[in-house]
Amino acid sequence: MSLCAAASCVAPAAPRPSSRAARPSPSPAPSRSATISRTPRDARSRVVPSAGRFDATEMELVPPVSRDDSFAQAREAIAAVCAKRAKKAGKKRRSSGKALAPLRVAVELPLASDAPADVRAMVVGACAGGVVGTAVYGDAAAAAATSGGKDDIREHVHIDDALRGVGCDLAMGEGAVALVGVADDQVAAARRVAELAGARPVVGVNVEWFHAGDGGVTFRAAAVDPDDARRTPDATAVFANSFSVVYSYLPLAIQGVTGATTEGAVFKCVRGGAPEGSPWRILVKDDAGEYQQVGAMQRRPEQEDLESALYNAAAAKSKINKGIGLFRGLADKAKNAVTGESK
């Protein structure tokens, strides 16, 4: 199937994974597809197929081939950015006596099942290695699940218990705090958890509220009101949008007009650089089953970005389009010959 046909329909291979059981909510948790389509238009940036300005090491990374592979990639991204921040914070404290603002990062992993055991396995796999010391869950069942295998996360608690100091001490604990599967109606509670955690890094793991993943850059740009400079953004909204994505893997099912599908992915994996400067890459599998990059962006891609990148990639491969390009080239040369111009 050609990519031109594939561009006719792009959709997530599965809905955005939830990490908590169904519960009443004043507003439904956003799906992963909704995450793709809610970036303000005035914050858009151009799809850059070559993306030469991005870190070459990150551009060479490929999406995971298994669940454990995705956990390992996310774990390395978390460790890299936390280590870099700790080093930077130490230099800042020695030079000025002041502390840096607390680190807020996020990872987004596909999860086939919302079963508490599967959510727990995701957290243990993606947050292992000693960087995360406390995991705070939006779902009580996941917090109470039993970990399988090695688990070096010291505390697993429900968000309500964390706020009461039951099962953990956020202020005195060590390592980062992971917010796991926290819903959009729990953001205020999550913000309180982060406040109690003080200087400890906070890692959002499949949080279910929408955010652009750029540390609040898009949010701050959209929140500017030229007619009311005194307006102060809601503190909870500021917190919800303060997370920078350091790892995201979104599988895509690309359906052609014939009904055939091919695999693609939106993929971001930070390896020590600034999260906001790391690319969101758009990848499609070729006939040999290897991922090929068809676009890269500095912000989270929208649905139309995906379609545009796939269409342009298909056009570049099309024999018909190549023939048209050759015809135009010959026509231009003929015109120049008539007018006496030369290239």
> Around Cβ 303, how many Cβ atoms within 10 Å?
14
Element (H, E) at 72: helix 67-96
Distance CA 267, CA 248 (A): 6
What are 264-300's pLDDT values in tens digits? 999 999 987 788 778 999 999 888 999 999 999 999 9
pLDDT over 80 at 18, yes or no: no
Scanning the structure block, which residue is given the tokens 């015809």? 327
Report the pLDDT value the prediction gives residue 314, as an integer from 0 to 100.
Answer: 76
Residue 89: phi, psi to the nearest 5?
A: -65, -40
Q: Higher pLDDT residue, 57 or 338?
A: 57
List % helix, strand, coil for the chain (3-state, nearest 5): 40, 20, 45
pLDDT over 70 at 341, yes or no: no
Which range (23-32, 77-86, 225-234) has the least confidence?
23-32
The one-letter amino acid code at 312 reads: N
287, with CB counted inside 10 A (0-12, 13-18, 19+), is exposed
What are 51-105's pLDDT values in tens digits? 445 666 667 788 999 999 999 999 999 999 999 988 876 655 556 656 678 899 9
What's the distance, CA 13 to chain centroid? 16
* pLDDT (mean) for 324-329: 52
Q: Higher pLDDT residue, 311 or 331?
A: 311
Q: What spatial distance separates the first Cα and last Cα of the chain, rounded to whole Å?
A: 39
Beta strand spans in 130-175 (E) = 132-137, 155-158
Q: Of 182, 141, 189, which Cα lies nearest the Cα of 164?
A: 189
The 8-class DSSP code of residue 276 comes to G
Helices 116-126/67-96 angle, 10° precision: 50
Angle at 48 between CA 46 and CA 51, to 5 degrees: 135
CB 111 within 8 A of CB 16: no
Report the pLDDT value the prediction gives residue 233, as an integer from 0 to 100.
Answer: 82
* pLDDT (mean) for 326-341: 50
Report the pLDDT value the prediction gives residue 166, as an integer from 0 to 100.
Answer: 97
Residues 6+ apart with CB under 8 A from 192: 163
CA-CA-CA-CA torsion sign (5, 8, 14, 16): positive
What are 142-176's pLDDT values in tens digits? 999 999 888 999 999 999 999 999 999 999 999 99
Distance CA 324, CA 313 (A): 16
